Amino acid sequence: MPDLSSLQRSTRRLDGLVAVVTGAAFGPKAALGAVFAAALSAEGASVVVADIVDAEPVAEALREKGGRAVAVTVDVTEEAAVEAMAATAETAFGRLDILVNNAVVGSNIPPVPLAELDVAAWDQVMAVGLRGSFLCAKAAAPRMARNGWGKIVNIGSTTMQEGLPNRLHYVSMKGGVLALTRALARELGPQGIRVNTLATGLIANPAAGAAFTAKPELITKIRAARAIPEDVTPDDLGGPLVFLCSHESDAITGQFIVADKGAHFT
């Protein structure tokens, strides 16, 4: 028998690829975007860490671990700013292969019934989550097309399947994100670009807000509804994200991939 312990992968799954992750400024224990950036970097991708606030601490942490990363401050609702973000990927690393549309507002807002939901709040959630995803895809797609290959992963939510009440703007936005995913998959497929939605339910991290401290009975109910009755943590999502960004998933596009330990079956 050969000594299999001496065998190592010669390359990481994303070696040579360049990724942009939006909504990635906060530390790995607070925000999915930082976890996504770290997961992509660990597999060899060069990463543009983007957010509307300073993302340099996350980029610096990736560099300290041997990764290649730059930070970009960007408002994803502004077309010129998004175009500059995509251009930064090419300037810093020579290309753009992967886009993770993670920027969002509304996931941790208090419940608001329809009668109390104002237009400004609706517009803000739609602008960041849906308009932002559209603008980022618009900026990234031609750069990916020049290479004949690319991956766009939009971050979704199972609240869209549930029709969760009192979060009409957030649920509607996430439904729009899935529709955008499927339309982009059809349009961009001939250019070698795959587009998918990665979705989860409630995540056990500070970004989930007060749910994990104020309503323990709700959390117990959520755990019990899962086929694997455990919390879903940010670290649970890094692996599925890397898979969707790698060549291993090249046969998958236009899909709604749920990683929530079996609360929802699609």
Asked if 211 is an active-site residue, the reply is no
- Domains of the chain with CATH codes: 12-203+234-258 (3.40.50.720)
Identify the pLDDT of residue 4: 37
Of 170, 222, 244, 263, which one is the catalytic site residue?
170
Give tens-digit pLDDT for 90-124: 999 999 999 999 999 876 677 889 999 999 999 99
Selection from 244, 238, 256 nearest residue 99 by Cα: 244
Identify the pLDDT of residue 6: 37
Give the mean model confidence (pLDDT) for residues 129-140. Answer: 98
- Residue corresponding to tokens 């190592």: 8
- Residue corresponding to tokens 């009409």: 168
Q: Where are the beta strands (DSSP E) in 126-246?
A: 150-157, 193-200
Higher-scoring residue by pLDDT: 159, 80:
80
CA distance 185 to 195: 5
CA distance 248 to 238: 15
Q: What sign has the CA pseudo-torsion 213, 214, 217, 218?
A: negative
- pLDDT grade for 8, boundaries at 50, 70 and 90: very low
Give the mean model confidence (pLDDT) for residues 217-238. Answer: 76
Identify the pLDDT of residue 195: 98
